[in-house]
Amino acid sequence: MQIDLKSLTYTELENFLKDNFNFPKYKANQVYKWLYRGVTTFDEMTDISKKDRENLKEKAYINILEIQRKLVSKIDGTTKYLFKLSDGEYVESVVMRYKHGNSICISTQVGCKMRCDFCASALNGFIRNLTSSEIIDQIIFAQKDLGEKISNVVLMGMGEPLDNMENVLKFLENIHHPEGLCISHRHISLSTCGLVDKIDMLSDMDMQLTLSVSLHAPNDEIRNKIMPISLKYPYEDLMKSCKNYFNKTKRRISLEYILIDDLNDSKECAKMLSDRLRGFSCHVNLIPANSVKEKPHQKSPMQKVMEFQAELKRNNINATVRRTLGSDINASCGQLRNKEKQN
Ligand code: SAH
């Protein structure tokens, strides 16, 4: 079986190349650099001899993502990619342009098992986990296409990253290597719907990631209605786990809260949320829900969003309203893939 080279860590690659072809370390370093620059064939590795390249082709391969579609927002330059994977499945990634640099939102699974009621990602169910190379390749091939460096990464696209823990951890090991993408864990946010046992595992690893938790409700009653995962991991346990993450890593947690009209956006909800978060060092990110064609939920009116934020602030809870980017290209994840599948 051929080896997917980008699924190996730097040290594993060194060992593989040494054991199979007796490559010295400097040559493994050259191969590693080419891979993370986004070459698609071994023949592009011009400082590797032809004979070595032929040997490589026999035992290894380079994973590739093809750009199936690319949409660029006329409003703010947000760029959305629909990537085609080697088995014909699709994933989406979105590059956001900020003054401080480029940030990319990437996917970790094809589809999703979590079945959150408001989300487009799981509409066609769960297909499969992405490999660590398919996760990192979204950054490599977006960077290559843009001709620009990406400095921040959010694992907030399709899928639940903590439901694909093994490959996500491998991805995290590769992403900060100085000879590769060289993106520090401090510039990465991982978003989860709240898999408590996996959050605890992350806390123990103390990796300096920013943890985003999709909360979306002030209590179990409302959360249970829209997020089935809440039936498995109740609110109390989730908050305990979040506090543990902060205590161990000293990284402030970001809590995501989608505002859905007449479901979780009342003043009482804001008060309840404030009570639950009192004394906890966190940041609440309020997101007016994007409407998904197949779902009944409506976006809260801006007036209610502002009132919700004001109530949190009155209670000394840090809260911002997420700026909408790429509104003209349906930049929220899941939507483009669904469209492609229907065609
Ligand atoms: N499974 C992870 C990451 C994927 S979802 C998680 O749940 O966090 C990424 C973010 O997009 C989450 O905060 C999710 O709740 C949000 N999201 C999903 N559907 C949305 C919609 N219709 N409108 C606004 N945000 C949405």
Model confidence at 332: pLDDT above 70 = no
87 and 55 within one domain:
no
Domain that holds residue 327: 66-342
Instruction: Kindly report, residue by residue over 82-135, the tens digit of the pLDDT.
Output: 999 999 999 999 999 998 899 999 999 999 999 999 988 877 899 999 999 999
CATH number at residue 54: 1.10.150.530
Tokens matching residue 152:
């921040």
pTM of the model: 0.94
Q: What is the number of structural domains in the chain?
A: 2
- Best of 110, 118, 123, 284 for a ligand 1 pocket test (most atoms within 8 Å of beta carbon): 118
122 and 27 within one domain:
no
Catalytic residue among 14, 92, 134, 311: 92
240, exposed or middle or buried, with CB in 10 Å at 0-12, 13-18, 19+?
middle
- Does ligand 1 lie within 6 Å of residue 192's CB atom? yes
Task: Tell which of 19, 40, 61 closes a domain.
Answer: 61
246 and 177 within one domain:
yes
Indicate which residue's Cα is closest to atom 24 of ligand 1: 289
Task: Tell which of 61, 77, 110 closes a domain.
Answer: 61
Instruction: Give buried/exposed letters for 190-201 (b at 16+ CB in 10 A, else e).
Output: bbbbbbbebbee
Instruction: Kindly report, residue by residue over 267-291, the tens digit of the pLDDT.
Output: 999 999 999 999 999 999 999 888 7
Task: Tell which of 61, 81, 101 closes a domain.
Answer: 61
94 and 11 within one domain:
no
Model confidence at 333: pLDDT above 60 = no
Indicate which residue's Cα is closest to atom 22 of ligand 1: 290
Query: Which residue has 């400097």 as its token pair?
Result: 26
- Does ligand 1 lie within 6 Å of residue 162's CB atom? no
Give the list of residues 6+ apart from residue 343 with CB closer than 8 angstroms, or none: none
157 and 31 within one domain:
no
- Does ligand 1 lie within 6 Å of residue 152's CB atom? no
Ligand 1 atom, smallest distance to 112 CA: 1
324 and 182 within one domain:
yes
Instruction: Kindly report, residue by residue over 132-169, the tens digit of the pLDDT.
Output: 999 999 999 999 999 999 999 999 999 999 999 999 99
106 and 27 within one domain:
no
92 and 46 within one domain:
no
Given this model, what pLDDT does residue 326 score? 74
Q: What is the mean pLDDT of the chain?
A: 93
Active site residue 92: yes
Ligand 1 atom, smallest distance to 291 CA: 22
Quick check: 147 and 20 in contact, CB under 8 A? no
